[in-house]
Amino acid sequence: MPITPGKCPQVDGVPNCPPYSEKDCIEVFKIYDQCAGEELLGRCVLASEFCSDPIPADAVITCNVVPNSARCFHIGFGEYNPPFYRPVMIQSQLDVEITVSDAAGNTICGPFTTRIDGISQFQMWAPPGTLVQCQIIAVGDCACDLTTDPVTGDQLICCRVYVCKEIQIKALVRLLVPSYGFCELDPCTPVTLPYACPGDEPLYPPQRCQEPPVVILQETDDSPIPNVNVSIIRAGTTTTVLTDANGTATFTTLGAIVAGDIVQFVDPTTQALLSFTVTTTFTDTEGTLHDSNTVCTLQFTRVEGSTFNVFIDGIQNGVLTP
């Protein structure tokens, strides 16, 4: 069964994950810097734009944030503060619905909607080629007050809302990471279907080896076994390569030896036919599970007679007999 996500087994209280089986180049967004902060957004509007009559001093002004209206976005950078710190300028905004009522609860004007916003900047690590992502992760309650413009004498309705936002500096990069290969799907259980889901075919193309895959044949003293035809049978097609002076058969056209491949050769000493089928996973001699959906090196080292130890990418799988 493939290695699946989950917590590693504990050995003496220490997590003990299986060793990774390959190095993968993956394309992901790497986060170079991130922060979260609170900001007060606010705006004043002329009361006369929404209310036909002057608002009494004892009026009650209520407001509510319009659902899903809060957003923030990047509007520019400042100058670098070496090496790659620079101000990141963010605009945040949301819509609020305002209602003005008298002391008895009767509506004087509204409800009407207006937008409140704010601009902030933060010193962040933002090298060339990075982009900025901002999202509002929490919105506080809206509060409004009635005030008077000290210059014109006009009535103003001033509203304010606190927002909490998260800012990330990121870039699309290619990372080389240790992995266990592709994530494999287990079938969903309860309903019986007239077809296989998932099917028997691999979900993803086979992972290629950094060098062509090889099959190595060795004697008990690790000396090579040359001039042996090694065949790999894949989906009914057979590819045969002769081992060289180092006992190595190099399969330049396969990319990798994959699960389901059948590897066959005739032992030149005993003339016995040996056959090995690559499985999706295997358990080594110490009982550790390994992923073997793709293999770069298969090594067969003679124990005695026509019995060989099998090594998959350098890890002993067990023994092979005719």
Least confident piece of the model among 14-23, 148-157, 160-169: 14-23
Mean pLDDT of the chain: 89
Confidence of residue 7 (pLDDT cuts 50, 70, 90): confident
Confidence of residue 110 (pLDDT cuts 50, 70, 90): confident
CATH class given for the domain over 214-320: mainly beta
Does residue 1 register a pLDDT over 60?
Answer: no
Strand partners, 157: 45, 146
Structure tokens at 79: 């100058």
pLDDT (mean) for 146-150: 91
Confidence of residue 197 (pLDDT cuts 50, 70, 90): low
Q: Which residue has the tokens 């290969």?
A: 181
pLDDT (mean) for 182-208: 65
- Residue 48 CB contacts under 8 Å (≥ 6 apart), including other chains: 154, 155
Structure tokens at 56: 């009494």
Does residue 188 register a pLDDT over 90?
Answer: no
Q: Model confidence over 83-92: pLDDT tens digits?
A: 899 999 999 9
pLDDT (mean) for 222-245: 95
Rounded distance between C-alpha atoms, residue 178 and residue 294, angstroms: 15
pLDDT (mean) for 228-238: 94
Q: Model confidence over 276-320: pLDDT tens digits?
A: 999 988 888 888 888 888 899 999 999 999 999 999 999 998 899
Kindly compute the dihedral angle of the four CA atoms of residues 207, 210, 214, 216, in this order, to the nearest 10 degrees.
Answer: -120
- DSSP for 98-157 reads EEEE-TTS-EEEEEEEEEEEEEEEEEEE--TT-EEEEEEEEEEEEEEEEEE-TTT--EEE
pLDDT (mean) for 230-245: 94
Residues in the chain: 322
For the chain, percent of residues with pLDDT exceeding 90: 62
Rounded distance between C-alpha atoms, residue 62 and residue 255, angstroms: 68
Domain with CATH 2.60.40 in the chain: 214-320
Rounded distance between C-alpha atoms, residue 220 and residue 215, angstroms: 16
pLDDT (mean) for 27-34: 93
Per the CB < 8 A criterion, the answer to whether 287 and 316 are in contact is no
